[in-house]
Chain A
Amino acid sequence: MLCRDADSCYWIGRYVERAEATARMVDVHYHAALESPLPPGQGSIGEEEFQPIRWQSLLAISGNADNYYERYTSETDHDVLNFFSFDLDNPNSILSTWKSARDNARSIREQIASEMWEALNISYINLKSLDAERVLAGSPHEFFQTVKNASHLFQGILNRTMLMGEARDWLDTGRFLERSCQTARILDVKYHDLLPIEADSDPLSERVGASVYGVGGAVDTHGWIAVLKSVSALEMYRKTHRDGIYPANVVDFLVLCQEFPASVSHGISRVEGCLKRIRSKAGIQAKNEPERLIGRLLADLTYSRPGEIISDGLHEFLEDVQARCAIVGSAIWETYLGY
């Protein structure tokens, strides 16, 4: 397969997944804030008296704060929604990532099923016709649902039409690497929100220890439900953990559980499978650098315990996972895609 085409497939997979993850992350943050039981004396949720949503942590953790404050002064719902959804100067906005997916697909139209291209193109035309005012005036949830559905439609067509060949493996490599990374990020974002943060403390430096959330201790169920919902995991979680919502179990489910398709571990093992097939197709016998890195990450995920992860610092663990995903990405570029 042409390196540039493989690279485009890989990035289509990543961008579509990223658009979906951004939609999920902002959606759950927005709605969790609407519903959260407010501390006494801070007003109630009503149309007249609206508790401002705290967006700072989302901006900080999603790694977009610098970019945001270059162009926006305060965190109004409108500006934040615009920034995450439609701002083409934010390379990670939903519209930017969707456009990037579409541009990549356009450059390899002849490699993918025409329905896949059309799905990306039609959704792009649709997204481009919207703006933050209209979304806020209507139902933001509906908008985020549209993005999620567009991603699911694309992935459904992909599953149904793409040959089980190298192009598909590259699309899947991108999708699952990105998904693992994004699940780690969403968990990280929400986990921070659940911490008791001092007014002037830096949320990024906060260390999460077993003393804060004892393993097995039920705390802020509402927040944890939001985390699970954000990756469409609540119902599935209930099926596997019947004894209620506990931080250690949520971490187990979203990070370590092989069976859950949005878990970090599931994504990484899918990437491992793709890289193995790609390598044998290229006629290379020995495992190479991308496979070595992904195998090691998978081993760490496979043999970790949720309690350990929390007591050693969940934030550090999730950051490490994200950093290692990035290194895998570089190794893939070095080994296969550089052109």
Chain B
Amino acid sequence: MSLFESYATDGFYDEMFEPSGLPRPHYRKLYQRLVSMSKEDFRRRCQLADLTLVNQGITFAVYGNDAGVEKPFPFDLIPRIIPSAEWDLIERGLKQRLTALNLFLHDVYHDQKILNDRVIPRDLVVDAVNYRREFIGANPPHGIYVHICGSDLIRNADGQLLVLEDNLRTPSGVSYVLENRIILTRVLPQLFRDLAVRPVEHYSTQLLRNLMDLAPEHCNGEPNVVLLTPGVYNSAYFEHSFLAQQLGIQLVEGRDLFVDENFVYMKTTSGPQRVDVIYRRVDDDFLDPLVFRADSALGVPGLINVYRAGNVSLANSIGTGVADDKVIYAYVPRIIEYYLGEKPILSNVETYLAWQPKDLSYILDNLDKLVVKAANESGGYGMLIGPQATAAERADFANRIKSNPRNYIAQPLISLSRSPALVEDRFEGRHIDLRPYVLYGKDDITIVPGGLTRVALRKGSYVVNSSQGGGSKDTWVLAGETPEALGGEMRQTQRSHTETAPQDAENLPDNGGAH
């Protein structure tokens, strides 16, 4: 019995299967491998992978009820494949987007041309929660604000890739990209054999090089680069520790650092040691109690002053959150056109802005059809999925929106594409997204092929966040496809999968295709 027995695409865009039920060309070889595996064999490999995750403590911390409890981030073994032509498009689109967002950030903290030209209403920017007036006029090294960006891409029912949101502050998840690949090559090496899967491991090297390039001028010799974490109780702590290890840099907490005579030092057993570059995974708000939240115990008093003086570099820079505000998001296509004079390569999801009276009434009238998001929440919090919400939840959100329209946006519910995922002892379609990691260096922008594919493991769920029952997949970008590499023509007699419900599948003829 194949693991694909009774697999149905249920009318969704399926990454692996065409509507006819045949595997898409770039998935054929993988499909052939998977279909030849027994359930027991696959199950055993899953257990091996799970055990590796638990033993290595590859976990994230859950906030809320069980604060501090560590959970493994579920890893679904079926890889997600992106053909090289499509990856080219994604790569170009993300480079274009990040270039423009960076110019936007420089502009709003300097001349504010885009505001003066009324392309974006001034209030939306200067009143944004994450706009840092304290940082106006400051000049980050090489003019780069966002060194590491993680933009979330989704595929709609027509197969079109759209940008759902940008993460320009401290995007997380890249450790799972690296770990998933390591684990999959160990437990299912056979899957890699037939396909030229582009490697991802050079991410760490590239990131380290970019961070070293940020060294302040006073630095002669090798700069001291550190990774600043909020500490072991942070949900992404595993990642911080993993990256520090991969990059070979010191992992520090705020209490390990201090400022003296406008330089940053870390406390070592041999006395203070100067710090030159900080890859910080602490939000702006908590970074420096003298400038931002005074109650923060995670930060370093005086750090921002040292940064402004150019005596230490930060990645990402301060105030980048204004550009991933979900309201500003709606203006990104205009931002791209304004600074680059180009049409956006990757489209946004259609977005209604509650601060606009016309949109507000549309949102309130159509709450049962829309997804509503707070402008500055992440991790799947502060969000209403109208079609799946109760009347009471919708009424609650209607009140929240009315009392603070600037803080809310709404989007139609995008029917995210699905990919097969292991559910108990067989494959079922589950919704997925994609977060590539974009590195903005001194000389160029680089993107490790692929990124993190997150999968909503709960049946029917559209929420892929790890805090909400999401898992992840290894993401493969193929080096190039020839018909040979794709497994040649499929024999028409091959078992195929259809959009029919599972119970009907048994009665299908071998060449399938029934609707």
State the Cβ distance, B465 to closest chain A Cβ, in Å.
Answer: 23
What is the chain B residue whose CB lies nearest that of A105?
A: B57
Establish whether residues A121 and B267, one from each chain, have CB atoms under 8 Å apart when the complex forms. no
A276 — which chain B residues lie within 8 A by C-beta?
A: none
Contact A339-B256, Cβ < 8 Å, known A118-B55, A122-B55? yes
**Residues of chain A contacted by B57 (CB below 8 angstroms):** 106, 109, 117-118, 121
- How far is it, in angstroms, between the C-alpha of A281 and the C-alpha of B56 when the chains are bound? 32
A residues with CB within 8 A of B: 1-4, 6, 103, 106-110, 114, 117-118, 121-122, 125, 166, 278, 281-283, 336-337, 339
Q: Which residues B50-69 have CB closer than 8 A to chain A? A: 54-57
- Report whether A4 and B269 are in contact in the complex, using a CB–CB cutoff of 8 Å: no
Interface string of B232-276 (1 = CB under 8 A from A): 100001000110110000111101100000000011111100000
Sampled A-B contacts (27; CB under 8 Å): A1-B268, A1-B269, A1-B270, A2-B252, A2-B256, A2-B266, A3-B267, A3-B269, A4-B253, A4-B267, A106-B57, A107-B231, A107-B232, A108-B251, A109-B57, A109-B241, A109-B242, A110-B245, A110-B251, A114-B56, A114-B245, A117-B56, A118-B55, A282-B270, A283-B270, A337-B269, A339-B255
Residues of B within 8 A of A106 (CB): 57, 232, 237, 241
CB pair B269–A110 under 8 Å, yes or no, is: no
Contact between A125 and B54, CB atoms less than 8 A apart:
yes
Known: A4-B253, A4-B256, A339-B255. A282 touches B269 (CB 8 A): yes
From A3, A109, A283, give the contact of B256 (CB < 8 A). Answer: A3
Name the residue on A nearest B250 (C-beta): A2
CB neighbours (8 Å) of B253 from chain A are 4
Q: Which residue of A lies closest to B271 (CB)?
A: A282
Chain B min CB distance to A6 (Å): 5
Report chain A residues within 8 Å CB of B270: 1, 281-283
Q: Are B267's CB and A339's CB within 8 A?
A: yes
Shortest B245–chain A CB gap in Å is 4
8 other A-B residue contacts (CB within 8 Å) besides A3-B269, A107-B241, A108-B251: A1-B268, A114-B245, A117-B56, A118-B55, A282-B269, A282-B271, A283-B270, A339-B255
Task: Note all chain B residues with C-beta closer than 8 A to A6.
Answer: 269
Q: Are B255 and A4 within 8 A (Cβ)? A: yes
Nearest neighbor of B253 in chain A, beta-carbon distance: A4
Mask for B220-240, Cβ within 8 A of A = 1, else 0? 000000000001100001000
In the complex, the answer to whether B244 meets A110 with C-beta atoms within 8 Å is: yes
Q: CA–CA, A117 to B237, complex, Å? A: 15
Q: Which residue of B lies closest to A3 (CB)?
A: B267
CB of A271 to closest CB in B, whole Å: 15
Q: With a CB–CB cut-off of 8 A, which chain B residues contact A3? A: 256, 267-269
In the complex, what distance in Å separates the CA atom of A88 from the CA atom of B55? 22
Q: A4-B255, A103-B232 are in contact. Are A166 and B269 (CB under 8 A)?
A: yes
Q: Which residues of B contact A125 (CB under 8 A)?
A: 54-55
Let me know if B56 and A118 touch, CB within 8 A.
Answer: yes
Given A1-B270, A122-B55, A278-B269, A110 contacting B241 (CB threshold 8 A) = yes
Would you give the shortest CB distance from A153 to chain B, in whole angstroms? 13
Chain A residues whose CB sits within 8 angstroms of the CB of B255 once the complex forms: 4, 339
In residues 81-96 of chain B, which contact A (Cβ within 8 Å)? none
Residue of chain A at shortest CB distance from B241: A109
Determine the distance from Cα of A121 to Cα of B57 in the docked complex, in whole angstroms.
7
Q: Which residue of A lies closest to B56 (CB)?
A: A118
Residues of A within 8 A of B232 (CB): 103, 106-107
Determine which residue in A6, A110, A281 has the highest number of CB atoms from chain B within 10 A of its CB, and name it. Answer: A110
Residue of B nearest to A103 (CB): B232
Residues of B near A107 (CB, < 8 A) are: 231-232, 241
| Minimal Cβ-Cβ distance residue in A for B245 | A110
Within 8 Å CB of B252, what residues of A?
2
**Residues of chain A contacted by B56 (CB below 8 angstroms):** 114, 117-118, 121
List residues of chain A with CB within 8 A of the CB of B242. Answer: 109-110
Q: What's the nearest-Cβ distance from chain A to residue B234, in Å?
A: 11
Q: Could you tell me if A109 and B245 are in contact, using CB atoms closer than 8 angstroms?
A: yes
Task: Enumerate B176-233 residues with CB–CB distance to A below 8 Å.
Answer: 231-232
Assembled-state Cα–Cα distance A166/B251 (Å): 17
Residue in B closest to A281 when the chains form the complex, CB atoms: B270
Q: Is the CB–CB distance between B245 and A121 below 8 Å?
A: no
Chain B nearest CB from A168 CB (Å) reads: 13
* Alpha-carbon distance A281/B251, docked complex (angstroms): 21
Q: Complex formed: what's the CA distance from A337 to B271 in Å?
A: 10
A91 to B142, CA, bound (A): 51
- One of A4, A109, A121 near B55 (C-beta < 8 A): A121
- Residues of B within 8 Å of A1, CB to CB, are 268-270
CA distance A88 to B244 in the complex (A): 31
Residue among A2, A103, A337 with max Cβ neighbours from chain B (10 Å):
A2
Residues in B with CB closer than 8 Å to A4 are: 253, 255-256, 267
Contacts of A118 in B (CB 8 A): 55-57
Q: How far is the CA of A118 from the CA of B256 in the complex (A)?
A: 25
In the complex, what distance in Å separates the CA atom of A103 from the CA atom of B269? 21
Contact yes or no, A2 B241, CB < 8 A:
no
Task: Tell me which of B242, B245, B256, B268 has the highest count of chain A C-beta atoms within 10 A of its own C-beta.
Answer: B268
